[in-house]
Amino acid sequence: MAIKKVRTEYDNPIYVETERKLNEIGKGMCLAKWTQVTLQLQTGHNHSCHHPRTHKINTKEIARNPSALHNTQYKKLRRREMLTGKRPEECDYCWNVEDNSNRFSDRVFKSTEAWSKPHFDEITNLDWRADYNPRYVEVAFSNACNFKCSYCAPAFSTTWMEEIKKHGAYPTTDKFNSLEYNKVEDKMPIPIRDTNPYKDAFWKWWPDLYQDLHTFRITGGEPMLANDTWKVLDYILEQKEPNKNLSLAINSNLGIPDNLVDKMIDKLKRIEDEDRVKELIIFTSVDTWGEQAEYIRNGLEFNKFWDNMDKMLSSLDRAVVTIMSTFNALSVPNYDKLLQGVHDLKMKHASQDRYWNSALFLDSSYLRFPHHQTVQVLPREWDSKILQHAQYADYLALPLFQKKYVGYSDIEIQKITRIYDWAKSTDEEKVLQQRYNFGKYFQEHDKRRGTDFCKTFPELEDFYRYCLEIKL
């Protein structure tokens, strides 16, 4: 079965016009340097747009000016480059796209977003030294987390940090999750009970920031284990004049204790019923089905997770749940079961009262790091299985509500197709070391965590044993 071709973003005249306007300022111009920021308050790092490396926030700057969490001197110099026709070196992801294809880069897409485009004239007429409140803010308050996902890291999980401090890095060629990297990059998380100047600055800035926000997304760690997350929700509930244009998004692994799930639902229900935000999105994660999903996301109780997601959708009439599925080598055998399960929840909870009609979205993005867990390490005969998953999602694409989808949308289907395209582009000569690391990593994983790779993934047992026999 062939997957239907869809109109792509590259045909859209809106992007053509945005690119033209940006290039009139300079061919390195991107509004995201002003309008978007990700704050990692546990390490004191930030970046605007997710492509550049994060950079350290200067504590002396935020002591004078809390908005320097975003408006760092470093970032202002990059803005000056953009306003004077230069291309900041840190934005090379976009320059590589623009110089090697006829496609639009992400600087065009991000500058066209609703949290960027309306502010074009305001931003381009600013002095580069001026402070600017971002419209899209993603923030991690801490690395507190009760999961140890196989591809995660100590900077984002306290349970990972505990394991690495006890056992050290994994015995892969790149010493996976060695703390030396965090130390070199100045990314050692501030202990949760210690004073954190970055969080202090955030709360000083927050009352001024709140009213300007288009989108506010809380991530982690596990955000519901951070007191600051509850502080944000209470602040929104207490405002006499709430920001009703706000899109509020919260990440959660939905594997937290029952009392916290109920507390979360209660506060979000009040926010929803009192129309205190424009849109409410819950982001959660799962990468395949059942016990295989539990193996990947160590700490996950799959049935409890699924029940909590169902409970969330049953309790919140307008909210949307997005599953961020990090598609990796271990996702491939049983992803079709996840596709069917998600489809069943889509059917159960679809409603025209919801913000997007559909209750649930499956965002399948391929894992890029660590390399030894990507789909590219698998033998190429597994590529056809990924294509079958895309075809199955296409089969389940049932339109409803005037071209809205209760089944899978074109975007959801095409994301899986892109994973297939990426998988089959593997350079076999470069993958041997990563297959060696695959074996070493999961052998150590079973030893440390009491898991059993071959029992959990019988479909991959032959490949796993082959990896263990590789000599470098």
What is the per-residue pLDDT across 285-321, written as a single tens digit (0 to 9) for each? Answer: 999 999 999 999 999 999 999 999 999 999 999 999 9
Task: Output the six-digit token pair for 277.
Answer: 């935000």
DSSP letter at 393? H
According to the model, what pLDDT value does residue 219 have? 96
- On whether the CB atoms of residues 300 and 292 are closer than 8 A, the answer is no
According to the model, what pLDDT value does residue 379 have? 96
According to the model, what pLDDT value does residue 96 have? 86
Q: 55-56 and 45-47: which strand pairing? A: antiparallel
Peptide bond into 370 cis (omega under 30): yes
Long-range residue pairs from 121-127, CB within 8 A, at least 24 positions apart, any chain: 123/31, 123/34, 123/35, 124/25, 124/29, 124/83, 126/34
Show Cβ contacts of residue 174 under 8 Å, excluding neighbours closer than 6 positions.
Answer: 370, 437
Cα–Cα distance for residue pair 250/260, rounded to 1 Å: 14
Strand partners, 249: 217, 281
According to the model, what pLDDT value does residue 63 have? 98
- On whether the CB atoms of residues 394 and 380 are closer than 8 A, the answer is no
Show Cβ contacts of residue 243 under 8 Å, excluding neighbours closer than 6 positions.
Answer: 210, 211, 213, 236, 277
Show Cβ contacts of residue 353 under 8 Å, excluding neighbours closer than 6 positions.
Answer: 317, 318
Task: Output the six-digit token pair for 262.
Answer: 């109920």
Cα–Cα distance for residue pair 367/293, rounded to 1 Å: 15
- On whether the CB atoms of residues 163 and 448 are closer than 8 A, the answer is yes
Task: Output the six-digit token pair for 203.
Answer: 């709360």
> What's the whole-model pTM score?
0.92
According to the model, what pLDDT value does residue 401 have? 45
According to the model, what pLDDT value does residue 356 have? 63
Q: Enumerate the domain spans of the chain.
A: 11-134, 140-468
CA 250 to chain CA centroid, Å, is: 11
- On whether the CB atoms of residues 377 and 336 are closer than 8 A, the answer is no
DSSP letter at 406? S
Instruction: Give the helix/strand (H/E) hosting 462.
Output: helix 461-468
According to the model, what pLDDT value does residue 3 have? 57
Which tens digit of pLDDT belongs to each residue from 112-131? Answer: 999 999 999 999 999 999 99
Cα–Cα distance for residue pair 39/134, rounded to 1 Å: 11
Task: Output the six-digit token pair for 236.
Answer: 């929104």
Cα–Cα distance for residue pair 22/82, rounded to 1 Å: 10
Task: Output the six-digit token pair for 95.
Answer: 């320059």
Task: Output the six-digit token pair for 462.
Answer: 């032959």
- On whether the CB atoms of residues 28 and 78 are closer than 8 A, the answer is no
According to the model, what pLDDT value does residue 82 have? 98
Cα–Cα distance for residue pair 22/401, rounded to 1 Å: 37
According to the model, what pLDDT value does residue 164 have? 97
Which architecture, in CATH terms, is 140-468?
Alpha-Beta Barrel (3.20)
Distinct helix (H) and strand (E) counts, the chain: 20, 13
Angle made by CA atoms 188, 189, 192, in degrees to the nearest 5:
150
Enumerate residue ranges in the chain where pLDDT < 70: 1-11, 355-357, 398-405
According to the model, what pLDDT value does residue 2 have? 59
* Locus of tokens 């926010």: 271
Closest CA to 91 of 21, 182, 189, 22: 22
Cβ neighbour number for residue 392 with a 10 Å cutoff: 18
299: left (phi over 0), alpha (psi -120 to 50) or beta: left
Q: Rounded to whole angstroms, what are the CA distances from 2 to 125, 166, 393, 436?
A: 49, 50, 12, 35
Complete edge-to-edge strand list for the sheet that includes strand 136-140: 55-56, 45-47, 36-40, 136-140, 215-219, 247-251, 279-284, 320-327, 360-366
* Locus of tokens 């908005």: 67
According to the model, what pLDDT value does residue 373 have? 98
Instruction: Give the helix/strand (H/E) hosting 438.
Output: helix 432-449
Show Cβ contacts of residue 246 under 8 Å, excluding neighbours closer than 6 positions.
Answer: 213, 214, 215, 216, 236, 277, 278, 279
Task: Output the six-digit token pair for 83.
Answer: 């306003």
